[in-house]
Amino acid sequence: MSQAAPAPQSESESEIIQGLIDRARTAMKAIADADQARIDEAVTALAWSIYEPDRAKELAELAVRDTGLGNVESKIIKNQRKTFGCLRDLMRVKTVGVIEEIPAKGLVKYAKPVGVVAAVSPSTNPAATPVNKAMMALKGGNAVIIAPSPAGMGPTTKTVDYMRAELEKIGLPADLVQVLPSPVNKALTQSLMEACDLVVVTGSQNNVRRAYSSGTPAIGVGAGNVSVIIDSTANLKDAAEKITMSKIFDNSTSCSSENAVIILDDVYDDAIAALKAAGGYLADADEKQKIQDTLWVDGHLNRHVIAKDADVLAKQTGLSGEAEKAKFFMVEDENPGPGHPFADEKLSLVLTVYRASDFADAMAQVDAIMDVCGRGHSVGIHTGDMDHARKLAEDLQVVRVLVNQAHTFGNGGSFTNGLDFTLTMGCGTWAGNSISENLNYKMFINTTHLVTEIPEDKPSEEELFGDYWAKYSK
């Protein structure tokens, strides 16, 4: 069942949204008594809607064609890998009826739906993100309404059509998943955010802020701007290959793509050589200026060059010769912080390189980069010294610290780490977010607690205050 038809011109934003909400609530009633197995069938249906190879390819091609962002091969991988990983995670948890019993505390926990979810999705992932969020929403017994970016309207609508068709195939209401009708605009999205029960936003910080001010409970995420340290104990070849693989994936559209690498002085030259061998091109001072003049226009990223293939970026920035053969481009910079554009998120195949005198200096530079953008999101380190990794986790205001990993492939969940698969990464209060973990099914359920009495668990005053009294007196 397609839902691609534009809304009648005579309807107001509120009338359009109310119609979607009403259909979503009706669809939810049809699964109100569904058991876990039936809910899991629904989630699997959504996963198959995009994982099926022909559709994964079609949606990737459509996304690149319509948005001009990223590349088809990477988006096929994203459509399948993220969906497969998310399905794995969701099939391992309970979200219907009793989900936990704690006899010692006299507690039994029951999961309940949160209601109609508004899922605001970005142009960078117009297919994978809607499916990812819809899977989590339906896992909790909810309905979801997708609000696409204007640039991603075509691929997102097609994705929703495929999800709806799979739901109908298994005998469930297609209206469990809906999409805003064309033309999408800020007013329509705002009306949806105000009328639904939960807003989940991935994308621009303007959308995140509007969600939090909508009056509806909201989950938003912060901006990416990942820095990665290469320290003296790193396997330089392995680090360079992982950084390259991660940096070039989908032409750096991911919020988890490396935007800066900080290299300790004693391995700096060797690390640069390893990055060159892996496909990086080190720009000289004149080339760096050309990149800067092209990448930013009036202080804003130039949408005509971000997320483009390396050869396209080389030509548009006026680089030639060996640069045209490169996989990505490195620019050396120093003193990162506000007023230094190369310290910002670049959404392009440009990697800023900093030299650090020692590990403390490297940490200070990472912190300065986060003063520009990306505080709360994540950092990475390539090291053989876990004390360095632990120091980052202890001292920096970030949610995730990845050790010896390709950041783009590890940050949103991996088959070789324990993070939840997601395309929406919370950054904590450091970024103005309500969550400091990867978006997961727990955000899409309410929990009822059945509470029964247990033997009294009341310690004496001496047990609680004794040490304090002994040290400071009563």
Please list the active-site residues: 255
The residue ranges of DSSP E strands in 170-313, in sequence order, are 177-179, 198-201, 218-220, 226-230, 258-264, 280-282, 296-297, 300-301
Rounded distance, CA 216 to CA 300, Å? 31
Secondary-structure breakdown of the chain: helix, strand, coil percentages, each rounded to the nearest 5: 50, 20, 35
Cβ proximity of 277 and 244 under 8 Å: no
Rounded distance, CA 282 to CA 333, Å? 12
Residue with tokens 């390396």: 310
**HEC readout, 414-470:** CCCCCCCCCCCECCCHHHCCCCCCECCHHHHEEEEEEECCCCCCCCCHHHHHHHHHH
- The token pair that represents 458 in the structure block: 């009341």
**Cis amide prior to 183 (ω within 30 degrees):** yes
In angstroms, what CA-CA distances link 57 with 78, 239, 276? 10, 30, 31
Give the HSE-up count for residue 269: Cα atoms under 13 Å, Cβ half-sphere: 1
Rounded distance, CA 16 to CA 23, Å? 11
